[in-house]
Structure 1
């Protein structure tokens, strides 16, 4: 392994999957900020794959709503508007309620243990002051809920909208209390374990309402970003 590349082991398809997971995590955790250019040649060299495979990786990220690929221009990390952000939360609430109701319908100890383990990983990352990783795990908790629903199409759509809202939160959601969000995940699991699917569905909708309200209070100030920051001091 050289400083310029990552692990080149595995088939080209496996390396492309690792590239997708790597870029996705970097965007969701806010390390790659909106507007960052994602050059095909640079990514191909870094991940040890062809530019053709890089294009498939970028296409997946476009489908997730994490990357924009304007015609004739380089792909770049997306920057959803406040209106697009609100639309994403509308869709996510509808999907989340359905996922929770389906999980409640065939709840068992295996589902409980997997959800608890994931929530525990969120809390451990938060306690270790790994806030970006904890926030990413928080979004993936909801993807896990969709997976446990047993509906593959629901899982696919949930994965896309959770990825999109995770990016939205890196842009607009600086005031999100991740510790409180983890507590609400624990409360959701408790409601599901108690067999109250309707209350669990209401709980997850309220949870998302709270996240949206905190994150999307107003459009970030326009103008010089330096002055926007200094205006808060």
Structure 2
């Protein structure tokens, strides 16, 4: 085996591990374990995940591009802390993007895509009342599934970014709500898309996102140790968890 091939082979585990670190931190933010404004020290995160500070730094850099992490010179990284004005802007953009999504999908879903969406909604049903963070994640993933089905890579990328930002905003300004409403509206969306009723699908999406945005109130911040908060996400990614 050539030195070049051997080097490429050795690089694969690092890439996979880097992706696991990124996913673990991202999921901890999306599921609101790491709350807005919380400091993200590279050494503590690296210790908890059993990886180098370099991999942690790479993951935080990726998350900063997505708007989930803020990087400040001489101050390090922290979970992004959007203002109420920024929160309103994000929801306005998301509403416009998701109208485009359902408009492009109305009457065009394949049988397999319908099955995928209906299966996902059943998972949302099962998560109700059992695991708040899991419900949050599944609700966001439903919208990402829709954007992926458009086949428009740019639209999908933007929807994923604003959906992540919305999860962050709800961690900061959100108040408790019934997930039953969201699941019911997801079912209504699927039915409207199957019928090819773009106007109804857009109306359901508008109502759905307006209801989410209306839940904005100031929430208390979490001051728990970051290593304890990251532990379950480290285990899910097969990383060290002390």
> What's the counterpart of residue 123 of structure 2?
121
Q: Secondary structure at the match of 1:75?
A: strand
1:136-174 residue CA offsets vs partner (Å, 9 max, x unmatched): 110111111100110011111111100000111112111
1:24-66 residue CA offsets vs partner (Å, 9 max, x unmatched): 1111211112222212223233334433332221112112221
- What is the CA–CA distance in structure 1 between the aligned matches of 2:164 and 2:179, rounded to whole Å? 17
Q: Which moved more, 1:162-171 or 1:51-60?
A: 51-60
Correspondences of 1:15-30 after superposition (within 5 Å): 15-30=17-32
Q: RCO higher in 1 or 2 (8 Å CA, sep ≥ 6)? A: 2
Task: Tell me whether 1:99 sits opposite 2:101 in the alignment.
Answer: yes
> What's the counterpart of residue 143 of structure 1?
144
- What is the CA–CA distance in structure 2 between the aligned matches of 1:221 and 1:188, rounded to whole Å? 30
Q: Tell me, yes or no, if the aligned pair for 1:176 and 1:211 is still in contact at 8 Å.
A: no
Q: Tell me, yes or no, if the aligned pair for 1:15 and 1:48 is still in contact at 8 Å.
A: no
> What's the counterpart of residue 64 of structure 2?
62
> What's the counterpart of residue 48 of structure 2?
46
Q: Which moved more, 1:108-117 or 1:39-48?
A: 39-48
Correspondences of 1:173-184 after superposition (within 5 Å): 173-184=174-185
> What's the counterpart of residue 74 of structure 1?
76
Displacement of 1:74: 1.4
- What is the CA–CA distance in structure 1 between the aligned matches of 2:175 and 2:28, rounded to whole Å? 17
Question: RMSD across aligned C-alpha pairs, in angstroms?
Answer: 2.0
> What's the counterpart of residue 33 of structure 2?
31
Task: List gaps (5 residues or longer) in structure 1.
Answer: 1-9, 223-233
Count, aligned residues: 210
Displacement of 1:126: 1.1
Q: Secondary structure at the match of 1:11?
A: helix
Q: Tell me, yes or no, if the aligned pair for 1:122 and 1:135 is still in contact at 8 Å.
A: no
Correspondences of 1:148-227 after superposition (within 5 Å): 148-213=149-214, 215-216=215-216, 218=217, 220=218
Displacement of 1:175: 3.0
TM-score, L = length of structure 2: 0.81
TM-score, L = length of structure 1: 0.84
Q: Tell me, yes or no, if the aligned pair for 2:87 and 2:166 is still in contact at 8 Å.
A: yes
Q: Tell me, yes or no, if the aligned pair for 2:106 and 2:195 is still in contact at 8 Å.
A: no
